[in-house]
Structure 1
Amino acid sequence: MIRPALRRPAALLAPVLAASFLVAAPARASAAEGRYAADIRRTEYGVPHISAKDHGGLGYGYGYAFAQDNVCVMASWVLTLRGERSRHFGAEAASDDVMDPISNLASDAYYTYVRSSDVLRRVLARPAPYGPSAELRALVDGYVAGYNRYLADTGVARLPDPTCRGKEWVGPITASDVWMNLLDLGRVAGSSSFKEAIAASGQAAKKAKPDDGQDRPEPKAAAPGSNAWALGREATRAGHGMLLADPHFPWNGSRRFYQVHLTIPGVLDVSGGSLYGTPMVQIGHNASLAWTHTVSHAQHFTLYRLTLAPGGRTTYLVDGKPEPMGRQDVQVVVREPGGVPREVTTAVHTSRYGPVLGMDWTETNAFALADANAANLRFADEWLALAAARDVAALRRAQAAHQGMPFVYTLAADAAGQAYFADTSVVPHVTDEQARRCRAADDPRMLVLDGSRSACLWGADADAVEPGIFGPAAQPRLARTDYVANANAGPWLTNPAAPLTGYPRVYGDTRTRQDLRTRVGLDMIAERLSGGDRLGAPGFTLETLQRSATGKRNLSAELLRPELLALCRAKPVMTASDGTKVEVRRACATLAAWDGRARLDSRGAILWREFFLGLNVPHRRPDGTPAPPDSWWKVPFDAAQPLTTPRGLDVTHPAVEGALADVVRRFTAAGLPLTLTPGQAQRYGAVPVPGCTEAEGCFDRIRTGGELGGQGRYPDVNTGSSFLMAVELTPAGPRTRTVLTYSLSANPASPYHADQTELFSRGGWVTERFTEAEIGAYPKLTTTRLRS
């Protein structure tokens, strides 16, 4: 089966000095770099504030600052983007893509195919908005020059990070590397989740498997999650716009956020989170506008099922006429044992729709991938435009002009108190009627269309920037003066008072069950607006926004614990799944005393998690037949009550008693305390991490790398709240609190390697310095002036 893999979607010692002073960087820039100039000022936790007179200089300062903190991560990722990992680390080792860790050989084959496909050259040759603007090109060129300047000044042999110090694979980067990184980011919800299948195309063409009637691809795995609230003037105590950004991206590797403040006087002044290797802010704010993103539920690709011509494995039929597949040979250099290089040649087959996937290729059918973002770089200029927009109206104009957001919703608020939600992501133009007519596999979660009919090609909108995608008029949007919110659900209940409907189904369904994280987030907003959360008078302030966002509520416990405790009182001895009788009195007492949160010291939080996860293990009825999943809810889902159903625990369901007895027996056998806390069980390196999982209904959720071990520890946290940003947009300027959960630098020798992680562990936030007066008031300010 086709299994697209969006899964588990460092650093250099920065100067820390006791007093403010000016550092003149060594003059080693090339003649080409002579036009660049930038200042880098660092405040608390090493956050860089970069200023320059133009986009080239801004990129120069940013590239230099980022290399100071994360040169090793970037150097490794560049090898990936160039398809050169096998040359240095061997073919079988796993690549460094934490969202899809496939073998180096498969990774290299995919990226070599992309580089040699000419897609990047063609996109870069196009004028704006189809290709990059002059400002974006200057920013990228400057970023490359700044990164390389740091590397030249420091020397590979003297890099502060031991991870890559003196390694042969560390070297200068090129503009092509940065453009490839941006192109790959745009493809996260499409081509980049099928890397292994694309790389296997050549082998599959040689040995197609027999038809077995099971040629339906599996749905794509879940992308990284996020939370976002945009609050309008009716939801805030002072009548200002406010925004909460809480992206849930990986805590390791190249998809981490870097916190940065970028300024070109009179042109640009933006602060926020920027994904590694991208020279612009993706989630942030300026003086009067703040915006963030969550991952869209829309389809951003379709598969086409190809009907192969009789006797021809690489020829397919369209409207009854044979059409040969294209073939692109790919050469990858592999390091053999002993260091001897060997060239491996494979092939990628292509179709009019896109690359042919090397899985589920039978004697009569194959599948091709059509990715709406395959040649999209427009989002990079769109982020620059958002950074310069002054209000929601300007943000809307920028998004309509570029139409480039690859796979995310946008939520925004401005100083006038307008809140806004839109799915402006790049979505294939497949109407509901066309989907019904052309669907080639009965799977409502992923579009598989009939590739044997040209009538099943994507359509076009007059207001779309290019053919094949929906234009702005079709996109789900909502403007409010109270709030809009999203936690990676579809657009339907962005604001329950005004449900969104009427959009093409490719954007997501309506009247469907909402996950517990969505439900708890909307309940948190409702509680704050009514004052029912005990945080003071109704309405949000910056302080109550922070407290709400990090309250560590566990909705599954709120919905199910009362019935479980009642069962405990009635049955202090329960039957495990294998029939064993287990005494559960102490466990029940622990759960009764638990505060219902996932704080560091919440005694019983881990016991609850393991019980709840046990509930979701497939179970059988007493007669041996499989029980439907989630059948232990007392009240099932009702589309008329989407925020309060399902609810309650059916204590007569055999899964309930078995789940509690099983976890008690497991804890007892391992010698684990039933009072095990998140602070004891969850770590990131040496730092204890609060929080609970999305499945439990946790808003500020975390995900660990595996199951609870016998020592009472989960593998390290690898995903979760990553760059928290709470912004109040006042007439006097923004008031902002942030925390970068995994800290600024992946370099274990850096003072900025775990400082914000420790702050996050304690529940603290960083008070952002945005104005010149705020930056200048930092008593330990350091400044690096970059000049040729």
Structure 2
Amino acid sequence: MRLCTWWALVLVVLAGSTGLAPVAAGGPPPGGGVLVRRTAYGVPHVLAADHRGLGFGAGYAVAEDNLCLLADIAVTLSAERSRWFGAEARTPDGVGNLDSDLHQQRVNQTGVVERLLARPAPLGPSGQARELVRGYVAGYNRYLAETGVANLPDPACRGAAWVRPLTELDLWRRAHQLATSLDDGFQDALVGAQPPGEAAPAAAGASWRRPEDVGSNAYALGRRATVGGTGMVLANPHLPWVGPYRLYQLHLTIPGELNVSGAAFLGVPMVGIGHNDRLAWTHTASTAAPVALARLTLAPGDPRAYVVDGRVRPMERDDVTVAVRRPDGGLDRVTRTLYRTEHGPLFEDDGELAWTDTTAYAVRDPNATNLRVVDQWLAMAKARDVHGLHATQERLLGVPVYNTLAADADGTAYFGALQVVPHITDELAARCATGPRVGLTILDGSRSDCAWGRDPDAVEPGLLGPARLPVLFRHDHVSNMNNSPWLANPAAPLTGYPAVVGDVGTQRSPRTRLGLDMIADRLTGEDGLGPAGFTLPTLQATTFGNRNLTAEQGRAAVVAMCAADPAPVGSDGTPVDVRAACAALAGWDGRGDLDARGAVLWREFVDRLGRSGVDPWRVPFDPADPTGTPRGFDTARPGVSTAFADTVRAFQTAGVPVDLRLGDFQRHEGVPVHGCASFEGCFNAVSAGTASRPTGVTRGSTFVMAVELTPSGPRARTILIYGQSGDPTSPHHLDQTRLHSAKQWVVGRFTEAEIARDPELVVRRLTP
């Protein structure tokens, strides 16, 4: 029997059992309806005739699994967290509710999203992107209306007054939120910025911080690196397991126009990391400057005015008011006056970036006008090869703060840092950069000639154009583990890009070095996984091999140290019995597997070394050997034995065994999770607190995708480690967590035949 005929018969049978009308092979349901087919582990495959229908099916499916999480995001975007949950509580990603509301209300008052929506494409959304959003909102609202707030399955928001239908503006605000960097750890420094003598209330404990929760690994493998002579991609984003960065897996199809599978952020109606039939791609957090500061010279005697080219300009005021819930349930109104300039809103921390009588700081986000991200991902999903993907990035420049890595069925691999980067050339920085040194670029705001520049090939002024951003096409491999683009392929180092994009010739992180070492060992067959070259199984095994670079480099030396001195002196001057700890490390194989004993001890020892400023490396970093240095632990260096003694004492004081089994410590809702910390030099990165204060897994590997683009179509293996649903009552809440715990993967279902063969297939027809 021909396959297409067989598939048509399957759908007829399904129609008879689910109330569906017969469906033409490979086509959408009749009458403009939408099919949502769920396969194993709750992965929805949405089939529709157009973009609105596709968005409808996606929004409905997401609501079934994560309505409470998306409703909570809508509360944040409406600046109503303090109204519903109180000012003292915190958002899921740890920001104070009042700070979050003041920041978001200020953004909403500017009308920036509405202005962008009024602009024609590409600065505003395309018609197809608008239809996706329109459908997504309608699908979410349909599920909410059918189910009713009082009957929602998730107890987190069942019957809650804060659950409401979504609007299209909610979703566009969500896209803007995900694009902008000022939502990543900057809110308190923005809403807490006040003139001298007018400190903000205690709710704003102002400080700036780069988001430590966001990272990733990515491999894009070309035909010279794969046994099959085609392209392969490994996606391994490291993101928080709670909060607005949660990912959702789905497959979206408009026959003849779009067929993409992968993962999307909640509230975004398009796959951001994924594959079609000929192309796969992923992203990693970039080292490019997410924002830049301007150092303001204030007018004498007036801290609310600043000087540009010798002329005084008044700051603009934003009076921002939010509702705050009292303990008795009543509402108060809190108003705060915030300030901004042409350089951006005022920004203040409790240290070197304080607002004084003479100096203040303003921050500008190059993504503040980026609503292109939905169109960017839609265009990438429709690309047919890496050159086509690259062309979409040149045209739209809509990727916010991520590198892109991709490979295609022809076996070409791609690395591109084509993203939104402030136009700060090295020449501009040399003329205008000023202090203090705080990890952000600071320009002299008193000179108009220190403004961001413009490139003719950039989609809008103030951004570096694509011609200035590093790009690499290869037939062997490219990778990125969150260091700069420099060693995307060590055989072809990338140089010549502006320093604002990233550094060159500097020490790579242990995780980057391990990731490059894993590629090299696979290409020579020295990793013990069989003949040289990548296959889908060896790519999977490499990903979850749980190697630990610092342990490989230093464990034996530390064991020798503690064997020679079983009672080293701690920082308080008293000796510590480390014999049991020494035995635990001696018996550990150096990997982050569930049965590992000694892995938790090693993690906290390496962390203590870093926090103490101890450099343990015997061979220092050498720019001529960047992947091989630094290496080897020199345990005779000052502070090494002290850090080890203090680590062991911390375990003893907490009553935690030094040979604590990793799987008994590192858990997510009771399920053991393998992996180890990024700072140790672990590829499968996981963060879970300390032995004395375990937090459960808070961040790390999330949606992991290994794809081989074969001549007969893509072969994919995925794992969304925390599961499809945030609802604890859902069967898809922890099912993939348990699967991951056993180092197993979900088999990708991409073709209609593969979907039909899934033994757990459930089909639902929706009529928008």
Both structures adopt the same fold (TM-score exceeding 0.5): yes
CA contact (8 A) 2:278 2:409 kept: yes
Q: Distance in 1 between matches of 2:338 and 2:33?
A: 44
- What amino acid maps onto 2:261 in structure 1? S
CA contact (8 A) 1:23 1:783 kept: no
1:218 shift after superposition: 6.2
RMSD, aligned α-carbons: 2.0
| Structure 1 partner of 2:553 | 559
Q: Distance in 2 between matches of 1:253 and 1:445?
A: 25
* Residue 654 (str. 1) matches residue 654 (str. 2): no
Q: Distance in 1 between matches of 2:208 and 2:434?
A: 13
CA contact (8 A) 1:615 1:659 kept: yes
Label 1:334 to 1:668 Cα distance change in 2 as closer, same or farther (>3 A): closer
CA contact (8 A) 2:175 2:268 kept: yes
Label 1:192 to 1:524 Cα distance change in 2 as closer, same or farther (>3 A): closer
Q: Distance in 1 between matches of 2:142 and 2:208?
A: 46
Q: How much identity, in percent, do the aligned residues show? A: 53
| Structure 1 partner of 2:331 | 341
Q: 1:702 aligns with which of 671, 680, 686?
A: 686
| Structure 2 partner of 1:452 | 446
1:235 shift after superposition: 0.2
> What are the Cα deviations for residues 555-601 of structure 1, in whole angstroms up to 9, with x where unaligned?
00111122222223422332222222233333222212211101000
TM alignment of 1:141-152, pairs within 5 A: 141-152=134-145
Q: Distance in 2 between matches of 1:761 and 1:645?
A: 33
Residue 255 of structure 1 aligns to a residue whose secondary structure is coil
Q: Distance in 1 between matches of 2:759 and 2:207?
A: 58
TM alignment of 1:317-396, pairs within 5 A: 317-359=307-349, 360-396=354-390
Q: Distance in 1 between matches of 2:45 and 2:640?
A: 54
* Residue 630 (str. 1) matches residue 630 (str. 2): no
| Structure 1 partner of 2:73 | 77
* Residue 168 (str. 1) matches residue 146 (str. 2): no
Q: Distance in 1 between matches of 2:712 and 2:743?
A: 27
Q: 1:570 aligns with which of 560, 564, 574?
A: 564
Q: 2:226 aligns with which of 236, 248, 267?
A: 236
* Residue 542 (str. 1) matches residue 536 (str. 2): yes
What TM-score does the superposition give when structure 2 sets the normalisation length?
Answer: 0.93
More displaced 10-residue stretch of structure 1: 129-138 or 304-313: 304-313
| Structure 2 partner of 1:615 | 609
Residue 678 of structure 2 aligns to a residue whose secondary structure is coil
TM alignment of 1:235-634, pairs within 5 A: 235-359=225-349, 360-443=354-437, 445-618=439-612, 629-634=613-618
> What are the Cα deviations for residues 697-732 of structure 1, in whole angstroms up to 9, with x where unaligned?
10111012x3222xxx62110100000000000000
> What are the Cα deviations for residues 522-570 of structure 1, in whole angstroms up to 9, with x where unaligned?
0000000000001000000000000001100010011112222222342
Q: Distance in 1 between matches of 2:532 and 2:61?
A: 42
Label 1:699 to 1:192 Cα distance change in 2 as closer, same or farther (>3 A): closer
- What amino acid maps onto 1:317 in structure 2? V
- What amino acid maps onto 1:691 in structure 2? G
CA contact (8 A) 1:687 1:761 kept: yes
> What are the Cα deviations for residues 714-753 of structure 1, in whole angstroms up to 9, with x where unaligned?
2110100000000000000000000001000000100000
* Residue 714 (str. 1) matches residue 704 (str. 2): no
> What are the Cα deviations for residues 359-417 of structure 1, in whole angstroms up to 9, with x where unaligned?
41111111111110001011210100000001011101111111111100000000000
| Structure 2 partner of 1:128 | 121
| Structure 1 partner of 2:27 | none
* Residue 767 (str. 1) matches residue 726 (str. 2): no
Q: Distance in 2 between matches of 1:786 and 1:42?
A: 13
| Structure 2 partner of 1:31 | none
| Structure 2 partner of 1:213 | none
1:88 shift after superposition: 1.1
Q: Distance in 1 between matches of 2:559 and 2:143?
A: 60
- What amino acid maps onto 2:386 in structure 1? V
Q: Distance in 2 between matches of 1:419 and 1:637?
A: 29
* Residue 184 (str. 1) matches residue 180 (str. 2): no
Q: Distance in 1 between matches of 2:238 and 2:229?
A: 29
1:329 shift after superposition: 1.6
Q: Distance in 1 between matches of 2:418 and 2:300?
A: 42
CA contact (8 A) 2:186 2:208 kept: no
- What amino acid maps onto 1:634 in structure 2? R
CA contact (8 A) 2:273 2:282 kept: yes
- What amino acid maps onto 1:652 in structure 2? A
Q: Distance in 1 between matches of 2:403 and 2:314?
A: 38
- What amino acid maps onto 2:559 in structure 1? L
- What amino acid maps onto 1:44 in structure 2? A
1:86 shift after superposition: 1.2
Structure 2 spans left out of the alignment, 5+ residues: 1-13, 22-29, 201-205
CA contact (8 A) 2:568 2:575 kept: yes
1:422 shift after superposition: 0.7
| Structure 2 partner of 1:28 | none
Label 1:565 to 1:364 Cα distance change in 2 as closer, same or farther (>3 A): same
1:605 shift after superposition: 1.1
More displaced 10-residue stretch of structure 1: 773-782 or 415-424: 773-782
Label 1:689 to 1:568 Cα distance change in 2 as closer, same or farther (>3 A): same
CA contact (8 A) 1:184 1:192 kept: no
CA contact (8 A) 2:705 2:719 kept: yes
Residue 299 of structure 2 aligns to a residue whose secondary structure is coil
Residue 545 of structure 1 aligns to a residue whose secondary structure is helix
- What amino acid maps onto 2:295 in structure 1? R
Label 1:433 to 1:749 Cα distance change in 2 as closer, same or farther (>3 A): same
- What amino acid maps onto 1:220 in structure 2? R
CA contact (8 A) 2:508 2:626 kept: yes
| Structure 1 partner of 2:7 | none
More displaced 10-residue stretch of structure 1: 430-439 or 629-638: 629-638
More displaced 10-residue stretch of structure 1: 494-503 or 641-650: 641-650
What TM-score does the superposition give when structure 1 sets the normalisation length?
Answer: 0.91
Residue 505 of structure 1 aligns to a residue whose secondary structure is coil
CA contact (8 A) 2:295 2:434 kept: yes
1:662 shift after superposition: 2.7
Structure 1 spans left out of the alignment, 5+ residues: 1-17, 26-33, 210-215, 619-628
CA contact (8 A) 1:289 1:413 kept: yes
CA contact (8 A) 2:604 2:690 kept: no
More displaced 10-residue stretch of structure 1: 297-306 or 177-186: 297-306
* Residue 690 (str. 1) matches residue 674 (str. 2): yes
Q: Distance in 1 between matches of 2:31 and 2:77?
A: 28
Q: Distance in 2 between matches of 1:235 and 1:102?
A: 44
* Residue 193 (str. 1) matches residue 193 (str. 2): no
Residue 632 of structure 2 aligns to a residue whose secondary structure is strand
Which runs of structure 1 show a deviation greater than 6 angstroms over 4 or more consecutive aligned residues? Answer: 216-219
Q: Distance in 2 between matches of 1:248 and 1:19?
A: 40
Label 1:219 to 1:259 Cα distance change in 2 as closer, same or farther (>3 A): closer
Label 1:674 to 1:444 Cα distance change in 2 as closer, same or farther (>3 A): closer
| Structure 2 partner of 1:11 | none
Residue 575 of structure 1 aligns to a residue whose secondary structure is coil
Label 1:271 to 1:398 Cα distance change in 2 as closer, same or farther (>3 A): same
> What are the Cα deviations for residues 318-359 of structure 1, in whole angstroms up to 9, with x where unaligned?
101111111122111111121111222222211111111254
Label 1:229 to 1:358 Cα distance change in 2 as closer, same or farther (>3 A): same
Residue 616 of structure 1 aligns to a residue whose secondary structure is helix
Q: 1:676 aligns with which of 654, 660, 663?
A: 660
> What are the Cα deviations for residues 104-161 of structure 1, in whole angstroms up to 9, with x where unaligned?
1111111111111011111001111111000000100110000000000000000011
Q: Distance in 1 between matches of 2:146 and 2:619?
A: 65
Label 1:329 to 1:666 Cα distance change in 2 as closer, same or farther (>3 A): closer
More displaced 10-residue stretch of structure 1: 596-605 or 343-352: 343-352
- What amino acid maps onto 2:698 in structure 1? N
* Residue 207 (str. 1) matches residue 198 (str. 2): yes
Q: Distance in 1 between matches of 2:361 and 2:434?
A: 11
| Structure 1 partner of 2:3 | none
1:656 shift after superposition: 2.0
More displaced 10-residue stretch of structure 1: 280-289 or 591-600: 591-600
Q: Distance in 2 between matches of 1:313 and 1:260?
A: 52
| Structure 2 partner of 1:13 | none
